[in-house]
Amino acid sequence: MDSPEHTIEVEKLYKRYGKVEAVNGISFKVAKGQIVGFLGPNGAGKSTTMKILTGYSRATSGIARICGIPVACHAHEIKRRIGYMPENNPLPLELRVREYLKWRARLKELPFRHRGKRIDEVMERCDLTRAQDRIIGKLSKGFRQRVGIADAILAHPEVIIMDEPTIGLDPHQVIMIRDLISSLQGKMSVIISSHILSEIEMTCDEVIIINHGKIVGQGTPQELRESFINSTIYELEINGSLADLRQSLKTLAANLDVDKFEEADERGFSKVTIRIPGNHDYGEMLFSCLSDNPLIRARSLRKRQAPLEDVFLAATRRSWETLDTDLAEHSESEDSDSEKTEMPAAN
Ligand code: ATP
């Protein structure tokens, strides 16, 4: 029954809430052991897609399969294979950490004789051992997020789905959770949604950008850059005026952008960026243009990757104009299917 290559398969998935198409015909696959990042502006449909994948919400139409098993008809079976950390990570605040994980292990039908050892292992992995006897309601947000992750990986699931696992954490905790997610690479298939684009770039093999319920970009961060960003950026440290720099670069490209992003230091060198249309290596030509101009002295030259933010903005910009209509429609539609504060079932 297991799909040989892909643990997650989604085909033409739709979810409608009244007039709002929260998920609008998306299809994608995630390979075994792959980490995929879900990016999208607020209301794009990320959480809705995740809830459908985990059997927590039903799709209006389309198919979602986990390890080859259709989620809609075998919700109980797929829950054994998924570890889910929902948005806002609802937890029973009155329980102690170990007590909670024991309860979850029982729900997840982990064999009794393995439970204690496995709970020790996940607590160790999530740096929770010292907090095992503490009441969840008295833990900091970072510790609670770790409890959510410990729960998600507890039963060795093949698929992990985490909805904004690092939201509200301080930079130390973000790094810790990022490392934890990276350590799952090759072992479990993971989908994480996040608004922290640098984090997605550091942890994920592939990125899926969703906007208005549709996939607007998909690929490795590098592939996305190539398809959405048609320019090459260099960072330079120069001693000289921007006007002279522009003059010396005019043979390189007609419409390049030159911007100063750091004022001159005590030796008169300031940092500038040059954005040249096209995806090429202009390094050698830049050196040659600069050395031909005696009014410009260059101290360093470095090619810079376009930030993932630029890719995200380019990919989502196309459908912004429909946002007003979407919001107007949404305000009319309410749905009883509001599961946001409930506890997840066994997964
Ligand atoms: P965020 O980044 O803000 O969490 P998201 O990408 O996860 O956003 P979803 O929560 O999936 O977005 O919401 C997609 C759309 O569906 C939004 O327009 C949202 O308001 C709507 N929606 C989500 N849940 C419900 C519900 N239970 N009833 C009605 N509309 C809903």
Using CA atoms, how far apart are residues 272 and 71, in angstroms rounded to an integer? Answer: 52
Query: Pocket of ligand 1, candidates 46, 50, 58: which has the most ligand atoms within 8 Å of its Cβ, to mutate?
Result: 46
Tell me the range of 73-77, 90-94, 224-228 where mean pLDDT is highest: 90-94
Mean pLDDT, residues 85-92: 87
Maximum CA extent, the chain: 78
What tokens appear for 239 in the block? 């001693």
> Would you say the CB of residue 44 lies under 6 angstroms from ligand 1?
yes
Question: What is the rounded average pLDDT of the residues 158-174?
Answer: 87
Q: Could you tell me if the CB of 42 is within 6 A of ligand 1?
A: yes
Q: Which atom of ligand 1 is nearest to the CA of 87?
A: 4
Backbone angles phi and psi of 174, in degrees to 5: -60, -45
For all residues of the chain together, what is the average pLDDT?
85
Per-residue pLDDT of 289-313, as tens digits, reads 888 888 888 889 998 888 788 888 8
Map out the domains of the chain with their CATH numbers: 6-219 (3.40.50.300), 230-304 (3.30.70.1120)
- For a pocket test of ligand 1, which of 14, 15, 16, 20 has the largest count of ligand atoms closer than 8 A to its C-beta? 20
Atom of ligand 1 nearest to the CA of 47: 7
Q: What is the tens place of the pLDDT at every residue in 59-78?
A: 999 999 999 999 988 888 88
Instruction: Give the H/E segment covering residue 23.
Output: strand 20-31
Query: How confident is the model at residue 79, as a pLDDT?
Result: 84
Contacts made by residues 193-196, CB under 8 angstroms, sequence distance 24+: 193/37, 193/38, 193/39, 193/40, 193/46, 193/47, 193/50, 193/162, 193/163, 193/164, 194/37, 194/38, 194/39, 194/164, 194/165, 194/166, 194/167, 195/39, 195/164, 195/167, 196/166
Could you tell me which residue, 334 or 157, shows the higher pLDDT? 157
pLDDT of residue 4: 52
* Ligand 1 neighbour 45 (Cβ under 6 A): yes
The encoded tokens of residue 243 equal: 């006007």
Asked whether residue 197 carries a pLDDT value surpassing 70, the answer given is yes
CA nearest ligand 1 atom 12, residue: 43
Q: How far is the CA of 317 from the centre of ligand 1 (A)?
A: 19
Residue with tokens 């947000």: 141
Rounded percentage of the chain residues whose pLDDT exceeds 70 = 90
Taking 60 as the threshold, does the pLDDT of residue 42 lie above it?
Answer: yes
* Atom 3 of ligand 1: nearest residue by CA position: 42
Compute the average pLDDT of residues 123-135.
93
Q: Is the pLDDT of residue 283 over 90?
A: no
d(C-alpha 186, C-alpha 144), whole Å: 26
Cβ pair 39, 31 in contact under 8 A: no
Rounded to the nearest angstrom, the distance between the alpha carbon of 158 and the centre of ligand 1 is 26
Is the pLDDT higher at 27 or at 224? 27
For ligand 1, what atom is nearest to the CA of residue 49? 11
CB-ligand 1 contact for 80 (6 Å cutoff) = no
Residue 343 to residues 44, 55, 89, 90, 147: CA-CA distances in angstroms? 23, 13, 8, 6, 14
Of the two residues 231 and 337, the one the predictor is more confident about is 231
The pLDDT of 213-219, averaged and rounded, is: 93
Write down the pLDDT at residue 228: 84
Which protein residue has the closest C-alpha to ligand 1 atom 10? 47
Give residue 47 CA to ligand 1 midpoint distance, Å: 7
Q: Compute, in angstroms, the gap from residue 42 CA to the centroid of ligand 1.
A: 8
What is the percent of the chain where pLDDT is above 90? Answer: 45
- The answer to whether residue 347 scores a pLDDT higher than 80 is no
pLDDT over 90 at 96, yes or no: yes
User: Residue 210 pLDDT > 60, yes or no?
Assistant: yes
Rounded to the nearest angstrom, the distance between the alpha carbon of 202 and the centre of ligand 1 is 26
Rounded to an integer, the average pLDDT of 21-25 is 95
Residue 342 has pLDDT above 60, yes or no: no
| Ligand 1, atom 20: closest residue by C-alpha | 43
Q: How far apart are CA 226 and CA 228, in angstroms?
A: 6
pLDDT reported for residue 69: 92
Q: Minimum mean pLDDT among 16-30, 36-50, 78-92: which range?
A: 78-92
> Exposed, middle or buried, 208 (CB in 10 Å: 0-12/13-18/19+)?
buried
pLDDT-based confidence at residue 341 (cuts at 50, 70, 90): very low
Q: What is the rounded average pLDDT of the residues 315-324?
A: 60
CB 57 less than 6 A from any atom of ligand 1: no
State the pLDDT at residue 16: 95
Sequence-distant (6+) residues with CB within 8 A of 326 are 20, 43, 212
Average pLDDT over residues 132-137: 95
Q: Look at 324 and 148; give whichever has higher pLDDT.
A: 148
- Which residue owns the Cα nearest ligand 1 atom 18? 43
Split at pLDDT 50, 70, 90, the class of 91 is very high
Find out whether the beta carbon of 20 lies less than 6 Å from any atom of ligand 1.
yes
pLDDT at position 38 is: 93
Nearest to 79 by CA among 67, 88, 91, 92: 67
